[in-house]
């Protein structure tokens, strides 16, 4: 199955996940991230702002803030480029070009300053092959940073096999329920 077909299959599967499962899975995933050595050791955390179909990151952002970590979130510029923008109390989040909240203002964080990148996916394999939404934003961004890459995924959306292209970036770890 090619990426386009697999993406469609996983999207359909995602639509059938019940709310109770997603709530419990989000709590488990968040707990695992917060208990991880990668999170504890990170000074600067790059984290996506999720949608209803993804494991949420609000709790991770709140915990990082409470721990005094520097937090940055993605802002898409033009395909396939995005910046990491520091998230502070003054940051205004507005719907971006994909309907996902993005910072309207804020200081750009250099990719080399990021210790941990928390990355979304449509699906991922246990060995770190990630299927994104197809825009290439995360792959292009992750190539510019030496950060540890953790991908969050509902266990019911994991895949056994995802085709990998030369521009795909492997994940260092998978966090699932």
pLDDT in tens, 33-91: 999 999 999 999 999 998 888 999 999 999 999 999 999 999 999 889 999 999 999 99
Q: Which helix (H) or strand (E) holds 81?
A: strand 81-86
Domain range annotation of the chain: 3-175
pLDDT in tens, 144-176: 999 999 999 999 999 999 999 999 999 999 999
pLDDT at residue 99 tops 90: no
Residue 102 φ/ψ, nearest 5 degrees = -140, 155
| CATH code at 3-175 | 3.40.50.10420
């Amino acid at each position: 199955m090619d990426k386009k077909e697999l993406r469609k299959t996983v999207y359909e599967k995602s639509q059938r996940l019940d709310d109770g499962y997603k709530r419990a899975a989000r709590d488990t995933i968040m707990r695992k991230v917060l208990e991880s050595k990668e999170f504890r050791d990170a000074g600067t955390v790059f984290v996506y702002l999720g949608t209803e179909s993804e494991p949420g990151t609000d709790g991770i952002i709140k915990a990082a803030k409470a721990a005094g970590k520097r937090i940055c979130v993605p802002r898409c510029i033009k395909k396939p480029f995005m910046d990491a923008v520091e998230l502070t109390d003054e940051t205004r989040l507005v719907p971006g070009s994909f309907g996902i909240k993005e910072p309207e203002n804020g200081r750009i964080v250099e990719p080399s300053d990021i210790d941990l990148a928390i990355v979304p996916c449509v699906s991922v394999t246990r060995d770190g092959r990630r299927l994104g939404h197809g825009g290439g934003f995360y792959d292009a961004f992750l190539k510019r940073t030496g950060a540890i890459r953790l991908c969050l995924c509902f266990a019911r959306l994991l895949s056994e096999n995802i085709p990998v292209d030369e521009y795909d970036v492997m994940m260092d770890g998978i966090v699932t329920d």
